[in-house]
């Protein structure tokens, strides 16, 4: 079944940079692809993920083989939803956020 359109694909990596932190940091990247199907989008994203993970020759990242795709309902644009993932959990909202997204070990910019 063809589903030509835009797809956002999230791939997970174990970071190899900087060398002293190798293996302790994980990265989630979401890339955007024009493709004919989920499989095609994931194939393209995984090809790019392997290329991306090899960019640092001294301490390369490792692509962990997890790719999750989301088909955009509308073309990309200002405010467009580019990724959505549903997860069942018995955790209360604060516990859920702390467990999955705000562990205190994230590397993120704050304004």
Task: Write the pLDDT tens digit of every residue in 9-32.
Answer: 999 999 888 778 777 888 899 999
Residue 47 inside a domain? The answer is yes
Residue 27 inside a domain? The answer is yes
Residue 111 inside a domain? The answer is no
Residue 110 banded pLDDT, cuts 50, 70, 90: low
How many Å is the Cα radius of gyration of the chain? 16
What pLDDT does 102 receive?
86
Domain boundaries, position 94: 5-74+84-100
Whether 60 has a pLDDT exceeding 90, the answer reads no
Is-contact 21 91, C-beta < 8 A? Answer: no
Count structural domains, the chain.
1
In this structure, how many other beta carbons lie within 10 angstroms of the beta carbon of residue 6? 18
Note the pTM of the prediction, 2 decimals. 0.82
| Integer Cα distance of 74 and 5 in angstroms | 9
Whether 59 has a pLDDT exceeding 90, the answer reads no
Residue 108 inside a domain? The answer is no
Whether 3 has a pLDDT exceeding 60, the answer reads no
Helix (H) or strand (E) holding 33: strand 26-35
Residue 106 inside a domain? The answer is no
Residue 50 inside a domain? The answer is yes
Q: What is the mean pLDDT of the chain?
A: 89
Is-contact 62 14, C-beta < 8 A? Answer: yes
Residue 16 inside a domain? The answer is yes
| Integer Cα distance of 54 and 106 in angstroms | 23
Residue 36 inside a domain? The answer is yes
Whether 35 has a pLDDT exceeding 80, the answer reads yes
């Amino acid at each position: 079944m063809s589903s030509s359109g835009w797809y956002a694909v999230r791939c997970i990596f174990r970071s190899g940079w900087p060398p002293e932190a190798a293996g302790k940091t994980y990265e989630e990247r979401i890339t955007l692809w024009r493709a004919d199907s989920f499989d095609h989008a994931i194939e393209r994203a995984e090809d790019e993920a392997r290329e991306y993970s090899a960019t640092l020759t001294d301490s390369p990242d490792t692509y962990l083989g997890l790719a999750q795709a989301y088909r955009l309902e509308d073309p990309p644009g200002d405010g467009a939803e580019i990724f959505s993932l549903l997860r069942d959990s018995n955790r209360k909202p604060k516990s859920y956020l702390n467990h999955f997204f705000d562990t205190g070990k994230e590397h993120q910019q704050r304004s």
